Structure 1
Amino acid sequence: MTDQRGGQARGRAHAPRPPRERLHRGLTLSERRAQRRQALLDSALELFGTKGYAATSIEELCRTSFVSTRYFYEEFQNREDLLASLYEDLLARAWEEVLAAEVEPGPDYLRRDTRARVGAFVHALLDDPRAARIVCLEAVGVSPALEARRRSAHLRYAEALANFFLDYFPEGTDPGHDFELVALGMVGAINEIIIDWMERDEPGSLDQLIDVVCELFLVLGTSRWGNPERWGTRPAR
């Protein structure tokens, strides 16, 4: 029904608007929670990455991040849950850097592409030694649950690495059923190489480390499946 001026009838029901979150110091509740969570992750990066996980208490984490213990337990079940979340975050950032690495098409593409992606991963961890310590040392042997998460992360990296090399295989080439085992060996190798580099008194440059890992990947990834020089200059798929 309309009124005499053709307008919409008064009293028509309108859909209720969703309630607006109350602001506190200009932030919504969800924004405040995200801020507290990030503050705890930042404190964990500093304390776990310098003092170590075993030497860091929840009280110290809260004091450093200016987050109360009450709010700590709103975000994380316990200290191990915080470590596991930080571990996953650091690996996710490293993987983003690997995916973002690009090289120009041309000769020796496989070697240059491998070095770019290995370099991205190494720099993502070792440009901040705290990150490398947490991923490669502090998260090891904490509990069966965290070991399962580490194992799952290694398997994901191995699958991605296998797919990376498979892109270079000519159509119809069968790399063999154990190709993913070789890729898993590469993941374990880079983990141990990084640990050794971190614990040396004079570790050398990151470029040297990247060269070693790159050469290892190329040897393991190509020696059993033919000469990569015959594979062309760009991925097959």
Structure 2
Amino acid sequence: MTRSNSAARPAPVPARRRIRGLDAEERSAQRRLQLLDAATELFARQGFSGTSIEQICQQAYVGTKGFYDHFDSKEACYIALLELITAQIRQRVLGVAAESAELEWQQRAPGLIAAFVHAIADDPRLAKVSFGEAGGISPVVEKQRRGNRRWAAGFLDAQWAGEPDADAGAQRRRIALALATIGGLFELVADWLHHHDDGGSPDAAETLTEDLTHFFATVGAGRQARQ
């Protein structure tokens, strides 16, 4: 007895339903981006504590259920947003670092500082969310923020001095100095935000660039004097 053709063929895979050219997975990714963009706008305008999940959903045109499909809480949404902004900043700074790797620190520094400033000042909402809002939200957010500072300190130390020091004490002191310098950078950005609340203007970005350039040049001169 021969088997029928229908029995020999595998069952057809149902086609994914597409709405406006997007399948379910693509629509979910789009909703997540809409929520993050809405959160960026609202956190920058009215702060973390002044923003509700319902407001984020209304701004994004996404239902509350859609919000909880992606984030467990408003805090989780903020952390995801902070991670996204941090990744964008790192990408721009690392790109400049790679292009100028053969130069001395004094020659690399202006390009690195400019890349950092433009990463947060071209869209002033990003600076407000990541530097103006990050402090004091919750221990989880503070841990994320501290991790970002540690990464930045390690990056700065590598730009300054190259390979890690073989002596553990010397390496710890190097990282401590870099961490203190990054702390100064964070404070300068926070102060800049308070004095340039309009944001986005070329003059505002230029002011921050000048202040950070002077700050890093002064710290660099101190490092050289100690060596």
TM-score (norm 2): 0.82
Deviations 1:121-160 (A, max 9, x none): 1111122221111111212111111111111111111111
How far is the alpha carbon of 1:194 from its aligned partner? 0.8
State the structure with more CA Rg.
1
Q: Distance in 1 between matches of 2:76 and 2:55?
A: 16
Q: Give the aligned residue type for 1:185.
A: A
TM-score (norm 1): 0.78
The one of the two structures with greater contact order (alpha-carbon pairs below 8 A, sep at least 6) is 1
Q: Distance in 1 between matches of 2:216 and 2:31?
A: 40
1:95 aligns with 2:90: yes
Q: Distance in 1 between matches of 2:170 and 2:12?
A: 59
Q: Distance in 1 between matches of 2:127 and 2:119?
A: 9
- In the alignment of these two chains, the number of paired residues is 216
Among 153, 159, 164, the residue aligned to 1:158: 153
Q: Distance in 2 between matches of 1:193 and 1:214?
A: 11
Residue of structure 2 equivalent to 1:69: 64
Change (3 A) 1:205 1:227: farther
1:141 aligns with 2:136: yes
Q: How does 1:1-237 map to 2 (within 5 A)?
A: 21-101=16-96, 102-103=99-100, 109-167=104-162, 176-177=170-171, 178-200=173-195, 205-221=204-220, 223-225=222-224
Higher helix proportion, which one? 2
> Sequence identity of aligned pairs in percent?
31
What SS is found at the alignment partner of 1:90?
A: helix
Q: Distance in 2 between matches of 1:17 and 1:167?
A: 58
Flag structure 1 segments of 5+ consecutive residues without an equivalent.
1-9, 229-237
How far is the alpha carbon of 1:227 from its aligned partner? 9.2
Deviations 1:60-117 (A, max 9, x none): 11111010001100000011111111111111101111112245967xx422311111
Q: Distance in 2 between matches of 1:155 and 1:148?
A: 10
What SS is found at the alignment partner of 2:170?
A: coil
Deviations 1:155-178 (A, max 9, x none): 111111111112399x99999230
Flag structure 2 segments of 5+ consecutive residues without an equivalent.
none
Change (3 A) 1:71 1:129: same
CA RMSD in angstroms, aligned pairs only: 3.2
Change (3 A) 1:110 1:175: farther
